Amino acid sequence: MQVAVIGAGSWGTAISWLLSGKGIHVSMWAREPEIALGINEEHHNPVYLPEVVLPQSVRASHDMEEVLRGAEAVVIVTPSHGVRETAGAMKPHLGSDIPVINLAKGVEGGTLMRMTQVVEDVIGGRERLAALSGPNHAEEVSKGVPSATVIAAYEDSVARMFQELFMAPSFRVYTNTDIIGVELGGASKNVIAVAAGMSDGLGFGDNTKATLMTRGLAEMSRLGRHLGANPLTYMGLAGMGDLIATCTSQHSRNRALGQWVAEGGTVDSYAEKTHMVAEGARSAVSVYELACSVGIELPITHQVKAALYEGASPDDARVLLMGRSARDELHGMDLIQD
C-alpha cells in the first residue's frame, strides 16, 4: 500500500516511521526542500526527530503532486493553522475517493471550524474524512514505546480502514463514532496543558495541577456536549488520556509554553527559541471564541488567553480562578446528562 503523509515535522516523521515499519510505502510532503533532501539521502529528518532512522521505503518531496501520485490514503500532519492551505494544495492532485485522515489538533481561527470541517470545506467528501487523536507524543511513538490512540470518522468503514492502517505492535488503535468529541477534545486539552505549565512555572505542586486537569476536563466536556459530542468521549483517549499526557510530559510543547510564560517569556519568544508550534497558544483564542459563540463559560481557557495575549500575569489568573464564587462541583453539568 502507498500512503501520503502531508507534513514532515516531528509527528509526520513518527507516523512515517510507524507506517513504514508495517511494510507500507510512504511518500512524505515536506514544506522545506532541505528536509526532503535529508530524508531521501540520509534516511532521517535533519530537523525533526533526527535520531529516527527511516527505511528506504519512505521517500520525501517538496512537490505535492509527486507525493500524492498513486497514494491510496492521505494523512495530514501539519499544524492546525496550516490545514486549510495544505488541503488547498492537495485538492488538484487528489482523487475524490481517496480517504483522508487529519492528525492536527485545533479549531480554526475566524471560522471556528474543527479540522475535518476545514478539510471538507476545501476538498469536499465528508464521508471519506477521519480524525486521529490521543496521548501520542511523537518522541515516544517513534521509539516504539507502547501507545494508544482513537480514530473517529463520519463513516464507520473509513474509521475501520484507518484503524487497520495504523494498528501496530506498539500502537493500539481504537475507533469512536464521536468525531466532534474526538476533535474538540484534542484542541481544548492543549489549552489546559498551557495552564498546567503555568502552574509549574509558578512553583505550584501536584494539588494545583490535578485541580487544573480535573476542572479543565469539566469545561472541555461542557463545551463538547453543547456542540453535540458524547461526554463519554472525554473519559477516553482523546480526552482524559491526551490531557494527562499533555499536562505532565516533558515532551509537551503546550506545558512547556505555559511554564515559559509563567517564568517571564512570551508566546513569540517561545516559538523563536524552540522553532516549534504549541497548538494551545492558538487554541486559547479559537476555543474561547467558539465557547463564547454558544454561551458556554470556560474559566481556565479564558485566563490562559488573558495571560498569553492580554498582559495578565499567570498569578493574576490564579487569584481570579481561586476567587470564583463557591458552587457545586457539578454546576452546569446538566448539559452532559441525557
Q: Would you list the DSSP string of 195-234? A: HHHHHHHTT--HHHHHHHHHHHHHHHHHHHHHTT--GGGG
243 closest CA partner among 294, 209, 202, 289: 209
CA distances from 100 to 61, 80, 118 (A): 19, 15, 12
**Rounded CA separation 217/211 (Å):** 10
**Which residues in the chain come in under a pLDDT of 70?**
332-338
pLDDT at 338: 39
- State the DSSP code for 25: E
Active site residue 189: yes
The amino acid that residue 22 corresponds to is K
Do 116 and 83 touch, CB atoms closer than 8 A?
no
Do 221 and 296 touch, CB atoms closer than 8 A?
no
pLDDT at 332: 63
The amino acid that residue 262 corresponds to is A
64 three-class SS: helix
Label residue 328 left, alpha or beta by phi (over 0 means left) and psi (-120 to 50 means alpha).
Answer: beta
Instruction: Indicate the burial class of 295 (C-beta count within 10 angstroms; 0-12, 13-18, 19 or more).
Output: exposed
- State the DSSP code for 335: G
pLDDT at 336: 46
**Rounded CA separation 277/334 (Å):** 35
Helix ranges (H only) for the chain are 10-20, 33-42, 64-68, 83-90, 115-123, 138-141, 156-166, 179-201, 206-226, 242-248, 253-262, 267-274, 279-293, 299-309, 314-322
For the four alpha carbons of 28, 241, 184 and 96, in that order, the dihedral sign comes to positive
For 275, the grid coordinates are 522553532
For 181, the grid coordinates are 468529541
Do 221 and 189 touch, CB atoms closer than 8 A?
no
pLDDT at 337: 44
- State the DSSP code for 114: B
111 CB-near residues (< 8 Å, 6+ apart): 117, 118, 121
pTM listed for this prediction: 0.93
List of domains in the chain: 2-177 (3.40.50.720), 183-336 (1.10.1040.10)
User: Given 22, 91, 143, 189, which residue is catalytic?
Assistant: 189
